[in-house]
Amino acid sequence: MKKGFEKYIPFKNVEIKNRKWPDNVITKAPVWCSVDLRDGNQALVNPMNLEQKVEFFKLLVEVGFKEIEVGFPSASNTEYEILRELIEGGHIPDDVTIQVLVQCREHLIKRTFEAIKGAKNVILHFYNSTSALQRKVVFHKDKAGITQIAVDAARLIKQMESEVGDTNIRYEYSPESFSGTECDYAVEICDRVIEEIGATPDNKIILNLPSTVECCTPNRFADMIEYFCDNLKHRDSAIISIHPHNDRGTGIATAELSLLAGADRIEGTLFGNGERTGNVDIVTLALNMYSQGVDPHLDFSNINHVKKIYEDATSMKVHERHPYAGKLVFTAFSGSHQDAINKGVQYMRETDSDYWEVPYLPIDPADVGREYEPIIRINSQSGKGGAAFVMRSLGYDLPKKMHVEFGDIIKKACDEAGTELDASEVFKIFEDEYINFTGKYKLVKKSVHEESDESGSKVHFDGTILTPDGERAISGVGNGPIDAFFTALKSIGISDYEFMSYSEHAISSGADSKAVAYIELKNKEGKSIFGVGIASNINHASLKGIICAINRDLKSKERK
- Region from 37-45, 378-386, 451-459, 519-527 binding Zn ion, contact rule CB under 5 A: 37-45
Q: Give the shortest CB-69-to-ligand KIV separation in angstroms.
A: 9
The residues facing 33 across adjacent strands are 67, 267
Nearer to ligand KIV, 279 or 487 (CB): 279
Q: What are phi and psi of 363, to 5 degrees?
A: -135, 165
Site for ligand KIV, rule CB under 6 A: 39, 101, 127, 174, 176, 208, 210, 212, 243, 245
Strand, coil or helix: 231:
helix
Q: Give the shortest CB-396-to-ligand KIV separation in angstroms.
A: 53
Nearer to Zn ion, 121 or 211 (CB): 211
Q: Give the shortest CB-117-to-ligand KIV separation in angstroms.
A: 23
From Zn ion, ligand KIV, none, interface partner of 174 (C-beta below 5 to 8 A by class):
ligand KIV
Pick the binder of Zn ion from 34, 36, 38, 39 (CB under 5 A).
39
Q: Give the shortest CB-227-to-ligand KIV separation in angstroms.
A: 19
- Closest-CA residue to 208 (of 230, 231, 189, 223): 189
Asked if 176 interacts with Zn ion (CB under 5 A), we say no
Nearer to Zn ion, 102 or 474 (CB): 102
Nearer to Zn ion, 39 or 188 (CB): 39
From ligand KIV, Zn ion, none, interface partner of 176 (C-beta below 5 to 8 A by class):
ligand KIV
Radius of gyration for the chain, computed over Cα atoms and rounded to the nearest angstrom:
34
DSSP state of 51: H
Q: Give the shortest CB-60-to-ligand KIV separation in angstroms.
A: 17
Q: Give the shortest CB-100-to-ligand KIV separation in angstroms.
A: 12
Degrees, nearest 5: CA angle 147-203-243: 55
Strand, coil or helix: 264:
coil
Q: Give the shortest CB-222-to-ligand KIV separation in angstroms.
A: 18
| Interstrand relation of 498-506 and 515-522 (parallel, antiparallel or unpaired) | antiparallel
Q: Give the shortest CB-185-to-ligand KIV separation in angstroms.
A: 16
Binding mask 523-542 for Zn ion (x = CB under 5 A): --------------------
Question: One-letter amino acid identity for 39?
Answer: D
| Residues 6 and 207: beta-carbon distance below 8 Å | no
Strand order through the sheet with 442-453: 442-453, 456-467, 470-478
Nearer to ligand KIV, 247 or 367 (CB): 247
Binding mask 323-362 for Zn ion (x = CB under 5 A): ----------------------------------------
- Region from 24-32, 36-44, 68-76, 137-145 binding Zn ion, contact rule CB under 5 A: 36-44
Torsion angle, alpha carbons of 230, 234, 237, 239, to 10: -30
Q: Hey, CA dihedral for 54, 60, 64, 68, is it positive or negative? A: negative
| Interstrand relation of 528-535 and 515-522 (parallel, antiparallel or unpaired) | antiparallel
Nearer to ligand KIV, 39 or 196 (CB): 39
Nearer to ligand KIV, 196 or 267 (CB): 267
Q: Give the shortest CB-174-to-Zn ion separation in angstroms.
A: 9
From Zn ion, ligand KIV, none, interface partner of 338 (C-beta below 5 to 8 A by class):
none
| Interstrand relation of 121-129 and 97-103 (parallel, antiparallel or unpaired) | parallel
Question: What is the rounded distance in angstroms from the CA atom of residue 104 to the CA atom of residue 192?
Answer: 14
Nearer to Zn ion, 210 or 386 (CB): 210
Question: One-letter amino acid identity for 68?
Answer: I
The count of residues in the chain is 560
Burial of 450 (0-12, 13-18, 19+ CB in 10 A): exposed
Nearer to Zn ion, 244 or 323 (CB): 244
The residues facing 453 across adjacent strands are 456
From Zn ion, ligand KIV, none, interface partner of 487 (C-beta below 5 to 8 A by class):
none
Q: Give the shortest CB-267-to-ligand KIV separation in angstroms.
A: 7
Nearer to ligand KIV, 232 or 521 (CB): 232
Helix, strand, coil share of the chain (percent; to 5): 45, 20, 35
| Residues 527 and 556: beta-carbon distance below 8 Å | no
CB neighbours (10 Å) of residue 245?
A: 24
Strand, coil or helix: 148:
helix
Residues that bind Zn ion (CB under 5 A): 39
